[in-house]
Amino acid sequence: MSGAPVRVAVRRLAHGEGLDLPSYATDGAAGMDVVSAENVTIEAGARHAVATGLSVAIPAGYEIQVRPRSGLAFKHGITVPNTPGTIDSDYRGELKVLLINHGNESFAIARGDRVAQLVLAPVTRASWDEVEELDATGRGSGGFGSTGGHARL
Ligand SMILES: O=c1ccn([C@H]2C[C@H](O)[C@@H](COP(=O)(O)OP(=O)(O)OP(=O)(O)O)O2)c(=O)[nH]1
């Protein structure tokens, strides 16, 4: 962490009233835990877009990444199928947390439960330089396990 926090405008929607804003659980936390604005049960194998009751205006040059919470993933198989979810700086709709239940049991979420974490990150944009040939490398076109399996090299 460095410097002052980046200020991000946040708006509570009607169904977000009374909920905690996303917040860092510890001084060194990279992500802000975000809570659900709804009571919902996600059946085993099912997906749900969890309402947060919030919309945001992220400054240009930044994004928010929606990442799973490791405790939910490890204990219950609850994770973010599109991880990291991308919140664009020009998006003004409701921030939603997509969750999938990879566990064997249904998972109940209560309004106010912390369902994911939000990481503010800088965005570097690219522009293409189209060429006829790319520079040669040792790897070349090898990939997808070309260096061997998961055993130590
Ligand atoms: O986990 C997520 C992912 C996305 N969004 C919102 C904010 C984001 O800016 C917008 C579009 O997301 P994305 O670009 O991932 O979606 P897409 O499937 O490419 O749709 P679009 O055509 O709207 O860009 O949806 C969320 O609220 N939660």
Q: Report which protein residue has its CA nearest ligand 1's atom 5.
A: 87
Q: Is 98 in the pocket of ligand 1 (CB under 6 A)?
A: yes
pLDDT in tens, 129-153: 999 999 999 999 999 999 999 888 8
Residue ranges per structural domain of the chain: 9-122
Contact indicator for 99, 35 with CB cutoff of 8 Å: no
Concatenating the DSSP letter of every residue in 16-80 gives GTTPPPPEESSTT-SSEEEE-SS-EEEPTT-EEEEE-SEEEEPPTTEEEEEE--HHHHHHH-EE-
Residue nearest to atom 24 of ligand 1 (CA): 88
- How many angstroms is it from 87 CA to the middle of ligand 1? 6
Predicted ipTM beyond 0.90: yes
The verdict on the CB of residue 56 being under 6 Å from ligand 1 is: no
- Is the pLDDT confidence value at 3 over 90? no
Average pLDDT over residues 1-5: 80
> Does the Cβ of 62 fall within 6 Å of ligand 1?
no
pTM comes to 0.95
User: Measured from the CA of 90, which atom of ligand 1 is nearest?
Assistant: 9
Domain 9-122 CATH assignment equals 2.70.40.10: yes
84: phi then psi, degrees, rounded to nearest 5: -80, 130
